[in-house]
Structure 1
Amino acid sequence: MNKLAKETSPYLLQHAHNPVDWFPWGEEALEMARTENKPILVSIGYSACHWCHVMERECFEKESVAAVMNEHLVCIKVDREERPDIDAIYMDAVHLMGVRGGWPLNVFLLPDAKPFYGVTYLPPQNWVQLVKSIRNAFENHHTELVESAEGFAASLQTGEAEKYGLSVTSTHVSVNDLDAMFEKLKRNFDTEKGGMDRAPKFPMPSIYKFLLRYYDLTQNPEALVQVELTLNRMAMGGIYDHVGGGWARYSVDDEWFIPHFEKMLYDNAQLISLYSETYSLTQNPLYAARIRHTYDWLMSEMRSAEGGFFSALDADSEGVEGKFYVWTADELRAVLGENYSWFATLYGITDHGNWEHGLNHLHLTQDVQRAAISKGIFDESFLVNYETALQTLARHRTPRVRPGLDDKILASWNGLLLKGLTDAYRALGDEEIRTTAIELGHFLKEKMVENSQLWHSYKEGKASVNGFLEDYAAVSEGLLGLYQITFDEYWLSLVQELLDYSLDHFYDPEDGFFFFTHKEAENLIARKKELFDNVIPGSNSILAHALFQAGSLLDHPTYIELADGMLNRMDKILKGEIQVATNWAAFYAQRVQSTAEIVIVGPEFDEFRKDLDRFFIPTKLMAGGPDTSDLPLLAGRTAINGQTAIYVCYDKTCQLPVLTVEEALKLIQ
């Protein structure tokens, strides 16, 4: 057993019994490298990573491979989800080296932690040869390695604003600029299968968040068509677990057919938000069904007894990727009996398998009813039989060896889910979902906030790792959603507490953005800022949304000025590389329009709020309660002759109050 045995990260614990002398990241390992003058290996992965498991089996579990590593290196294991700061630095480093990047990420460092070489997965023979070559270069070409490492470190230490030429511009937000962003993004649409024109296909929710807002503003039908095409294909494709619910991390092909089978909390959190917003706009029952099914999966498999949500389910079970989710034709015949024939026709099930090794995976390209009609198997009992068949498969699948569960609870990902739950409640009006959201809010406050400071990770009753900007940003945005479905001002006060802490400990006044790490955090070789949007939006863009919403609800102009300043500085990226700035683009769309501030006061405030929330109004902010309060938006606003009143305000100017939701909608529209 190595030094990882005392860690709490499931990923690190997976490696605790390796013959490799692994250390967790920390001063002990770094000091050993300096004392023994050895190169450092930092091997970064996460518990649900398939190729991380493969490399462990092939290399790190083998005594002969471990002996070479232990002789030549100081070996450090890092869970990228627990230490995203370390992952970001060394991922940037391998990109500078011309390596594509990915996980497992294996980076070789000098004893001062500066990187000089990096690779991803390698098979054992190549890996052993590389380790020996690294040690040879360290001993015989040390000067060249130092020069190379110094160069990479210098590049890593260059500020993002300087590196990308970001500065304050005189440009004002305009619909014309939004049109240009859309046209540039549209060039890479896959207009046949949805998503973008590449494989593998990732969900990328912030792209469609932007398109929804762009459509709301311009009514450009192309935007909505691409949203619906993508959401339909993701909902019916193999990236979605038709039996158990929830989306996998990505599709390895361009058909949304075969996923990389791990299920991540952050994907499902954001997709719940996206499907909820799109359901509010389109009322497509498929979207409501997917929201509810995924919610049920989260509640049954991903929720802790204390109310927080776990991080991920592994892709592998019994050492085989996807084994839990796929079927042979014989299995399906035995389980489904007389229902097998039409089910096999629907899903293209064959004895040879529709995937590989005689295995079948459930995948459609259109709504199940249309698919059944097109294949001549639809009748009046089809939909009932279909649901019964899926439930039968779920029961049969339950005894299988389950994929591994990463049971650490991350503040940032739970913040994303909190927003997802509030969006789902607004779209569906399901009180159970609101209750779950409130309980998650209390979990975050009670277990992961201490003296205005967030912890990043929680496991087995213990919070650990000081929070990163992603935690403050995502939790703040989630809490803003929670306020707007409860009108409980407790949540707004907590948002202000977290945002003020972020300003004091993460903000860089030199360029107007926020560092990823706390100003008193461990001194790594670089202090980075996360500006660009990816599968998870960048923490600065999430924070910009939160600052604007909180500034509007709390009448805190400094927050709004900060958010607008950040957006202004991203102008060059928005006009040049829109695909890495789609959450920024969604905020840009918000700022092109005036925000509707809707205040509901009176005895039926909750019923009125629930009715209004059914409609897709992405620029609205909601406040209210049974009576006036000290909240600036509510000050002086009361019910009218005992009747609930709705005040619709733009730019701090309010229309005359109205007494029905229908009248309010006319004022908003």
Structure 2
Amino acid sequence: MHTNRLINASSPYLQQHAHNPVDWYEWGEEAWQKAKAEDKLVLVSIGYSACHWCHVMERESFENEDTAALMNEYFVCIKVDREERPDVDQVYMDAVQLITGRGGWPLNMFCLPDGRPLHGGTYFPNREWNQLLLQLYDFYRNKKQEALEFAAKLTDGVRNMDALTVAPQIERFTPQDMDALYNLWKPQFDWKEGGNERVPKFPMPNNWQFLLNYGLLANNHEALQFADFTLEKIARGGINDLLGGGFARYSTDGLWLVPHFEKMLYDNGQLVSVYANMLRADGNPFYKQVIDETLNFVSRELTDANGGFYSALDADSEGVEGKFYVWTKAELVDILAADEPLFSAYYNCTEAGNWEHSLNILYTKTSVEAFASEKGIALAAFEALLNRCHTTLMAARDKRVRPGLDDKIICSWNALMLKGYADAYLATRNEQYLQSALANQQFIATNFLQNNRLLRIHKAGKNTINAFMEDYACVIDAYLQLYQCTFDVDLLHTAQALTQTCFDEFYSEENNLFYFTSKLDPPLVARKTDTGDDVISSANSIMADNLYKLAYYFGTTNYKTVAEDMLAKMAQQLKKYPSWYSRWADVALMQAFGLYQIVIIGEEAHQLYQHFTDYLPNAVFAVSINGSENLPLFENRHVQGQTLIYICKNETCSLPVTTVEAAMGLMQ
């Protein structure tokens, strides 16, 4: 058996390649120095542990002795886990998209010895890969000047991709502007299956979060209805593991039926948040079930003993995608016996299968209540049958070979899950959810936070890699939301200290935006600025949101000025492509409709806060018994023997009131 340098890597993805015959290096100076010394092209091969096509290419090419011999002879080969090094992934993904017009993983980029990209793509079948290796070796050896010139142009293209069209005047968003954004986006809505009109379908929680917020603030029932419709479709589809909980990364079809079976922490954290906010907005008990089942999965399968959250579950088990999750009709008959006909009818399982090879993915078209009524069955009896079947099938599934677990703990993804737990607590008041959030906050403080700077990765007791802007933005966001649960002012002070680090190390005065990488880290061939709201919102849109809120907590007008400058910088892009900038659209909502600060102070403050149960998308709370916390919002507001509520907006506060009803009336 071969063993290469990756045997010492901490990343599970890199360790998966430790026995390839390829002479892999980790990203670092050693590989680049070798390439310069030997004047060889460098292959930077990027993937992640739950990536199905990464595994396929490994089996076909990187485990192939002949292919490995070509790679070792003609190239210096570097393996990168994109989840550890999103900065490296960003640069070379931009290059691949310029070359091919599309992206994805595995990402394979051939570079000059100085790191500038030359040629690349995503998945290559073995025969094409071997041909490409020989062609690129020959091109660099015999046409080096041409190669250098092409790499220079491509690198300039990567550096210029972040350039933005900026309006000549600072723009402020109005409610009418938000209506225009919605009307531009609306034709993309899929009113038959939910989500946007495209395949594959990604859950995109930031999209539905914006529609929920906009619908409530603009009193747009249609926007609320579509967000609700989409969230129900996703939750009833095969993309949601209806047996064990947890959402897969995306649906390969337009029906939310056939998922790409990998389960990522970041999807589940963000989806819990949007389902929790929708539960608070419309009270649909089905969403509480979705939250409970998802967090049960996270607790059972993705939670470290010390409160950290693991990254992902693989799509494959026994080398077959989805094998852990799917059933033949015969298996269901054998396992469920007399209960099988109704179970299969409800979950749409048939002899022919609803997927390939006569296999069935569990999904539902309707509620338990509607199905029981349609079949003329007592609801309690049908619910008892489903509970029996779930227990029996979970026991059978637990005997199968499990998908691989990526047990590295990523700072930003943990923050997204922490925020999910905080939102779930606010929606359900389930104390266990708050305890899980607090345990994770302690994990972050212990393992990632050092002298007001963050680290990105925790694995096997080691904390490695300096954090990126995404990590800072997500942790600050999570701490602000956890403050809404506990009103521990230390969370705000930590958020403010991390914000100062962002300004010191990441902020560009010239661009009015934050770079993805710190100025203290070794530079790559391009320093990127993250602005598009993909499945994870951009670091800059999250940070603009954070700055708006921190400005009001600390009375720091500079924070609000920077947030508004950032939003103005993005205004033209947002007005053209609202679905791709949906977290920016949430920031625009705060500008258009204003941000309420609800200050509750007095002996009964915490009890009174519990009665604010409505979801308020443009409000932050500050709660104190006596105002002793060092926050401007509490100054001169404590009256002995009274518990008072102040409603503030646009630097102006109302006279205090004493009831939730009166306070809500001031915010109409």
Tell me the TM-score normalized by structure 2. Answer: 0.97
Indicate the SS of the match to 2:456.
Answer: strand
Matches of residues 134-173 of structure 1 in structure 2 within 5 Å?
134-158=136-160, 160=162, 163-166=163-166, 169-173=169-173
> Partner of 1:436 in structure 2?
436
> Partner of 2:257 in structure 1?
257
Q: Does 1:314 align with 2:293?
A: no
> Partner of 2:399 in structure 1?
399
Q: 1:596 touches 1:648 (CA, 8 Å); kept in 2? A: yes
Q: 1:233 touches 1:366 (CA, 8 Å); kept in 2? A: no
Shift of 1:446: 1.3
With 195-204 and 117-126 compared, the bigger mean Cα shift is at: 117-126
Q: 2:175 touches 2:593 (CA, 8 Å); kept in 1? A: no
Q: Does 1:553 align with 2:542?
A: no
Matches of residues 532-547 of structure 1 in structure 2 within 5 Å?
532-547=532-547
> Partner of 1:666 in structure 2?
665
Shift of 1:135: 0.7
> Partner of 2:124 in structure 1?
122
With 164-173 and 559-568 compared, the bigger mean Cα shift is at: 164-173
Q: Could you tell me which amino acid in structure 2 is paired with residue 617 of structure 1?
A: L
Q: CA RMSD in A?
A: 1.4
Q: 1:103 touches 1:120 (CA, 8 Å); kept in 2? A: yes
Structure 1: gaps (5+ residues): none
How far apart are the structure 2 equivalents of 1:371 and 1:215?
30
> Partner of 2:50 in structure 1?
48
Structure 2: gaps (5+ residues): none
Indicate the SS of the match to 1:611.
Answer: coil
With 503-512 and 387-396 compared, the bigger mean Cα shift is at: 387-396
How far apart are the structure 1 equivalents of 2:366 and 2:71?
50
> Partner of 2:652 in structure 1?
653
Q: Could you tell me which amino acid in structure 1 is paired with residue 125 of structure 2?
A: P
Q: Does 1:530 align with 2:530?
A: yes
> Partner of 1:100 in structure 2?
102
Shift of 1:590: 1.5
With 494-503 and 220-229 compared, the bigger mean Cα shift is at: 220-229
Change (3 A) 1:588 1:606: same
Matches of residues 545-584 of structure 1 in structure 2 within 5 Å?
545-584=545-584
Shift of 1:608: 2.0
How far apart are the structure 1 equivalents of 2:653 and 2:633?
10
How far apart are the structure 1 equivalents of 2:127 and 2:367?
48
> Partner of 1:132 in structure 2?
134
Q: Deviations over 1:526-548 (max 9, x none)?
A: 10000111111111001111111
Q: 1:232 touches 1:367 (CA, 8 Å); kept in 2? A: no
Q: Deviations over 1:290-340 (max 9, x none)?
A: 011111111111111111101111001111100111111121112211110
Shift of 1:201: 0.3
Q: 2:236 touches 2:365 (CA, 8 Å); kept in 1? A: yes
Q: 1:167 touches 1:511 (CA, 8 Å); kept in 2? A: no
How far apart are the structure 1 equivalents of 2:305 and 2:379?
43
Aligned pair partner of 1:74 in 72, 76, 88: 76
How far apart are the structure 2 equivalents of 1:232 and 1:387?
21
Q: Could you tell me which amino acid in structure 1 is paired with residue 304 of structure 2?
A: S
> Partner of 2:513 in structure 1?
513
Q: Could you tell me which amino acid in structure 1 is paired with residue 498 of structure 2?
A: L
How far apart are the structure 1 equivalents of 2:336 and 2:259?
24
How far apart are the structure 1 equivalents of 2:242 and 2:607?
34
> Partner of 2:488 in structure 1?
488
Q: 2:100 touches 2:121 (CA, 8 Å); kept in 1? A: no
Indicate the SS of the match to 2:597.
Answer: strand
How far apart are the structure 1 equivalents of 2:611 and 2:414?
27
Indicate the SS of the match to 1:235.
Answer: helix
Change (3 A) 1:118 1:368: farther
Shift of 1:604: 2.7
How far apart are the structure 1 equivalents of 2:6 and 2:168?
46
Q: Does 1:419 align with 2:427?
A: no
Q: 1:516 touches 1:530 (CA, 8 Å); kept in 2? A: yes
Q: 1:452 touches 1:497 (CA, 8 Å); kept in 2? A: yes
Change (3 A) 1:168 1:335: farther
Identical positions, percent: 45
> Partner of 2:16 in structure 1?
14
Matches of residues 335-414 of structure 1 in structure 2 within 5 Å?
335-374=335-374, 379-414=379-414
Shift of 1:272: 0.6
Shift of 1:654: 2.2
> Partner of 2:595 in structure 1?
595
Q: Deviations over 1:44-72 (max 9, x none)?
A: 00000000011111111111211111111
Q: Could you tell me which amino acid in structure 2 is paired with residue 621 of structure 1?
A: V
How far apart are the structure 2 equivalents of 1:425 and 1:192?
32
Shift of 1:99: 3.6
Tell me the TM-score normalized by structure 1. Answer: 0.97
Q: Deviations over 1:194-223 (max 9, x none)?
A: 000011000111111111121112211210
How far apart are the structure 2 equivalents of 1:551 and 1:395?
51
Shift of 1:377: 5.5
Matches of residues 197-216 of structure 1 in structure 2 within 5 Å?
197-216=197-216
> Partner of 1:450 in structure 2?
450
How far apart are the structure 2 equivalents of 1:151 and 1:404?
40
Q: Deviations over 1:111-133 (max 9, x none)?
A: 11111111111111111111111
Shift of 1:484: 1.5
How far apart are the structure 2 equivalents of 1:457 and 1:609?
36
Q: Could you tell me which amino acid in structure 2 is paired with residue 146 of structure 1?
A: L
> Partner of 1:2 in structure 2?
4
Indicate the SS of the match to 2:56.
Answer: helix
Shift of 1:374: 4.1
Indicate the SS of the match to 2:281.
Answer: helix
Shift of 1:168: 6.0
> Partner of 2:235 in structure 1?
235
How far apart are the structure 2 equivalents of 1:349 and 1:483?
45
Indicate the SS of the match to 1:633.
Answer: helix
How far apart are the structure 2 equivalents of 1:632 and 1:239?
46
Q: 1:547 touches 1:559 (CA, 8 Å); kept in 2? A: yes
Q: Could you tell me which amino acid in structure 2 is paired with residue 83 of structure 1?
A: R
Q: 1:242 touches 1:390 (CA, 8 Å); kept in 2? A: no
Shift of 1:389: 1.6
Shift of 1:667: 2.1
Change (3 A) 1:380 1:520: closer
Q: Deviations over 1:482-507 (max 9, x none)?
A: 11211111111100110000001000
Q: Could you tell me which amino acid in structure 2 is paired with residue 278 of structure 1?
A: M
Q: 2:32 touches 2:113 (CA, 8 Å); kept in 1? A: yes
Shift of 1:668: 2.4
Q: Could you tell me which amino acid in structure 2 is paired with residue 656 of structure 1?
A: L
Shift of 1:264: 0.4
> Partner of 2:92 in structure 1?
90
Change (3 A) 1:631 1:150: same
Q: Could you tell me which amino acid in structure 1 is paired with residue 586 of structure 2?
A: A
Q: 1:369 touches 1:378 (CA, 8 Å); kept in 2? A: no
> Partner of 2:624 in structure 1?
625
> Partner of 1:195 in structure 2?
195
